Amino acid sequence: MVETIVFGMEQLEKLAKSIAKKAKAKTGNITLEEFPDGESYIKFDNPVKGKNIVLVQSLHPNANNNLVELFFAGRTAQELGAKSVTGVVPYLAYMRQDKRFHDGECVSNKHMAHLVNNSMDKLITVDPHLHRVHDMADLFYIHHRKVTANLAIADYIKKKFNRKKAVIVGPDIESSQWAKRIADKIGFESAIFLKDRFSSRKVKINVTTELDWKGKDVVIIDDIISSGHTMIEAIKEIKKRKPRAVHCICVHGIFAEGAFEKMKKAGAKTIVSCNSIPHKSNRIDLAPLIVKEL
């Protein structure tokens, strides 16, 4: 049987170990260092020839550095004779730059995909941002699998909240593919709000469905928390309605510009993310869902 070796790259060693354990595979070590001039130095410390190689890499923080590392590592494993190279990239950066919004701009998602297509045989990612590009196949011609964190988030909510005393909210229409689906799956009441976005830091949330909020735990679910403004505006609207507490859950916690602290200040009692991006809010393990796709 062909041996599988899982390599955890930038700060995702813990997720890599969890994946390896569940897949009954070995973990390997990859040296990732910088030359004095800042260029990346990469070395596989385990032989990869004839093996199935799994590279676990997050593309946040340091999207550019981590993408180049992933590309170099994938190419190197292929050159060294790996039987297959699979990239587990739970947070796929650059998916939001999916069109030329202004003349002269780079449509980055295509070029990120070009690097991925040319350095591995298979890509596994979690809830990628598919907005104007609806199908991963429009970007990736290698094997690709899209995992949704919904089951893991649903399990977490079921353990932490009582469905008679809690409701689920999606802050905008797009979030209903997480918030509404999770709520329906575990039998919680839910409401999906509407969002107007004026700029990357200015949004307005419109509460279009009123629920019985008083004394309830309100759990807001979104795929990404970036600047945190979507969550903050949703928290403010919900707080006006006197709930017991407001909780925020996301798949990918980017938490740019102090978003975590700003959300706490706005009144979020708990803020929880999946472990696609290393952060102190990581409470939901994606490994069981990822392993199914290996």
Residues in touch with ligand R5P (CB under 6 A): 172, 174-175, 203, 222-230
Closest CB to ligand R5P among residues 120, 225: 225
Query: Are 259 and 233 contacting, i.e. CB atoms less than 8 angstroms apart?
Result: no
**What are 247's strand-pairing partners?**
219, 270
Q: Least separation, in Å, of the C-beta of 233 and ligand R5P?
A: 8
Query: Are 180 and 148 contacting, i.e. CB atoms less than 8 angstroms apart?
Result: no
Q: What pairing do the DSSP bridges indicate for beta strands 194-199 and 202-206?
A: antiparallel
Closest CB to ligand R5P among residues 61, 83: 61
Closest CB to ligand R5P among residues 71, 178: 178
How far, in whole angstroms, is CA 110 from its chain's centroid? 19
Query: Are 4 and 22 contacting, i.e. CB atoms less than 8 angstroms apart?
Result: no
Q: Least separation, in Å, of the C-beta of 47 and ligand R5P?
A: 41
Within a 10 A sphere around the Cβ of 172, how many other Cβ atoms?
19
Burial class from Cβ neighbours inside 10 Å (0-12, 13-18, 19+) for residue 198 reads exposed
Q: Least separation, in Å, of the C-beta of 195 and ligand R5P?
A: 7
Q: Least separation, in Å, of the C-beta of 173 and ligand R5P?
A: 9
Q: Least separation, in Å, of the C-beta of 108 and ligand R5P?
A: 15
Closest CB to ligand R5P among residues 53, 254: 254
Closest CB to ligand R5P among residues 86, 226: 226
